[in-house]
Structure 1
Amino acid sequence: MESLVLELQREAYHQQTSASSLLRKAYTLSRKLKVHKFTEWAELELNGYKDSKNLPEYRSLNGEIKAFNPYRGYIPAYFHAEIESLIKVKEIFSPITEVELLVKQGEEGEGMLMYKFPSEIQLRLMEMNRVDFEVSLHIPVSQFNNILNKVRNIILDWTLELEEEGVLGEGMTFSEKEQQKANESSAPIINYIGNMINSQLQQNTENSVQELKVGEFKVESLVDFLGKLEKFQDEISDPELKRELESEIEVLKSQVKSPKPKKSIIREALKSVRNITEGISGSLIATGILHEATAILSSLNS
């Protein structure tokens, strides 16, 4: 009986086998070799990702923002750079089988897939453009196909590593020594996958926001956040809220400059910032600030 490693390697090298079939076989192989991190990745690809926390970078796609003109069809739509950065990226959480279906649909069509924005965001975008043209995100199908290719390449690299280490087994059976070697040789591949997880990503949903990795708190994470807060301050029309936010910005700035920043002070200032933004609806920047403040607060508590 042929080695499962070599069988999977051959199928990953050729294009006839679908990415979903490769993943099911890779999932089986990783379970038998007890390479738990690889199993976790394969399972997420097969079943879909629940949130941005574990989403690999290759599942973050860039599209073009277009508005529908009833007389000319779809035309390019332009926004402020910060707004555009929030809405031009689409995170793909779907199981790999759904990605394959999207690729098929796109290739049978015009080679482009379109995503419409939620109603609240749509209204806000139309107000910004000062026209009643519906705005949508258009992504080339080639970017969805790239997800399938990334998955295929990860599996191919892994099986090549296993072969180089002599982890072939007999059919679907592996010795304890092979299991140990598999875990050691899989480390570079797992690190590669891991480096693409928890990166700073953006999503095109009602909660579109560039997310921060929730891990150990570092005061440096406040520097970029403060820049966004100052821009957000210019958008606030309520004088009282504006002064309140300005006060919290100064508090956070003082903690960034302090040789011994106090988490308790930072935490209270961020809570106040969160309360301010929660009271402002219909603002994309406010939505981003709200979620980023929440992410930093989570890192303070971890």
Structure 2
Amino acid sequence: MNSLIEEIQREALDLTIPVSTLLRKVRLAAAKLKLDTVEEWVTNELSGYEETVPAYRILRGTVRYNNGYTGWQMLLGDTSSFSQKGNGQSISQIESMLEPTGNQTFHIPFSGKLAEMIGKAAGGGQASYALFIDRAQLSGVLSAVRNLVLDWAINLEKAGIKGDGMSFSEREKKIAESSPSSITIGTINSLVGSIGSHNSVGSITIGSFSIDAARSVVPQLRGNAAALAKLTADPAGFSERLQKVEQELMSSKPDPSSVKATLTDIRAALSGAAGNLIASGALTLLNNVLGTGVPA
């Protein structure tokens, strides 16, 4: 009969075995060896974290807002302070989310004071805010847990702890009792708050005007058109200019001077609202495209 530790090692290598199933066997082994720290970690992974989470559960993505009219749109501006968030969901919940293979993106809603902070920075309008993440971010949590379990089981064997079936000898229990710190889970003590440290968000940076750069920025302005128009003195005029530049960019040979002139007008219309997060983000993009040398 294989020992419990060998069974854990084998299943950690078998990607068809759910991580939640693997963790239950880790909990059993930890309980028998009286490894309280490991047992607590497994409990958190299976039941979910309340406040702080391990570093590998910090997810990074794109901040979006939904005002009830335009659907989810990317929030322009410096959202680096909000672009990462801790995920405290149980492992089984994460596995269930990933089960439909068609789901490529997920969103984690912002709530409470954090949502109020984002809303205030965005101008105070009524909207919901969420962090959109891709599938790989969630898959990474499962992979991290599986790797930690495998390393832990290997270290147990190196320490002379393998077990016999579901049991461990008194000698093995004494080894575990005398050196628990050397056979704990690698990074479970690396806990962070639900919001991690700043994470830079890249934006387009070019030294001179180009049609390709304009084509990459205008869709972002369109995604926030309703909110941006309200920040200008002439919302209708703003919308007309945006539509004009879109039509020019759709032509077979866009006129660079016309596109640049229209984008310059759009920038001027937004300049009075520079203190607003969305407007500031739009101005940063426009400044970069127009080659003003303003850093992103």
TM-score range, shorter chain: 0.5 to 0.7
Deviation, 1:128, is 3.6
CA contact (8 A) 1:162 1:185 kept: no
Amino acid at match of 1:89: Q
Number of the residue aligned with 2:160:
166
1:28 counterpart residue number: 28
| Number of the residue aligned with 1:244 | none
2:94 is equivalent to residue 103 of structure 1: no
Amino acid at match of 2:152: W
| 1:93 maps to which of 88, 93, 102 | 88
Once residues 164 and 189 of structure 1 are traced to their aligned partners in structure 2, the CA distance between those partners, rounded to angstroms, is: 9
| Matching residue of 2:105 | 112
Following superposition, the deviation at residue 139 of structure 1 comes to 0.9
Does the 8 Å contact 1:154/1:189 carry over to 2?
A: no
Question: How big is the shift at 1:72?
Answer: 7.4
Shift of 1:132: 6.3
Partner of 1:65: 63
Measured in 2, the distance between the counterparts of 1:187 and 1:122 equals 39
Q: How does 1:158-237 map to 2 (within 5 A)?
A: 158-183=152-177, 187-190=181-184, 192-197=186-191, 199=192, 201-203=193-195
Given that residues 66 and 137 in structure 1 are in contact (C-alpha distance below 8 angstroms), is that contact kept between their aligned partners in structure 2? Answer: yes
CA deviation after TM superposition for structure 1 residue 135, in Å: 3.7
Residue 160 and residue 75 in structure 1: after superposition, are their counterparts in 2 closer, same or farther (change >3 A)? Answer: same
TM-fit CA distance, 1:38: 0.8
Q: Could you say if the C-alpha distance between residues 189 and 148 of structure 1 is closer, same or farther in structure 2, counting changes exceeding 3 Å? A: farther
Task: Look at both structures and tell me which one has the larger radius of gyration over its CA atoms.
Answer: 2
Unaligned stretches of 5+ in structure 1? 204-208, 211-302
Q: 1:11 to 1:132 in 2, by over 3 A?
A: same
Instruction: Name the CA shift for 1:78/1:24 in 2 (closer, same or farther; >3 Å).
Output: same
2:134 corresponds to 1:140: yes
The question of 1:40 aligning with 2:34 is answered no
Aligned to 2:238: none
TM-score by length of 2: 0.58
Q: Aligned to 2:77, which of 51, 76, 79?
A: 79
Distance 1:17 1:191 in 2: 20
Letter in 2 for 1:91: G
Which AA in structure 2 matches 1:115? Answer: I
Provide the C-alpha distance between the structure 2 equivalents of 1:121 and 1:40, rounded to a whole number of angstroms.
Answer: 29
Deviations 1:223-247 (A, max 9, x none): xxxxxxxxxxxxxxxxxxxxxxxxx
- SS in structure 2 of the partner of residue 193 of structure 1: coil
- Per the TM alignment, residue 76 of structure 1 is displaced from its structure 2 partner at its CA by 2.7
Shift in alpha-carbon separation, 1:170–1:59, aligned structure 2, 3 A: same
Of the structure 1 ranges 24-33 and 62-71, higher mean CA displacement relative to structure 2 is found in 62-71
Task: Tell me which amino acid in the other structure corresponds to 1:181.
Answer: I
RMSD in angstroms over aligned alpha carbons?
2.8
Deviation at 1:123, TM superposition (A): 6.3
Q: CA deviation at 1:7?
A: 0.8
SS of 1:21's equivalent in the other structure is helix
CA contact (8 A) 2:152 2:185 kept: no
Give the stretch that moved more between structures: 39-48 or 23-32. 39-48
Give the aligned partner of residue 56 of structure 1: 54
DSSP 3-state at the match of 1:15: coil
Q: What secondary structure, in the 3-state scheme, does the structure 1 residue paired with 2:151 have?
A: helix
1:233-248 correspondence to structure 2 within 5 Å: none
Change (3 A) 1:191 1:25: closer
Structure 1 residues 155, 186: CA separation in 2 closer, same or farther (over 3 Å shift)?
farther
More divergent stretch after superposition (72-81 vs 133-142): 72-81
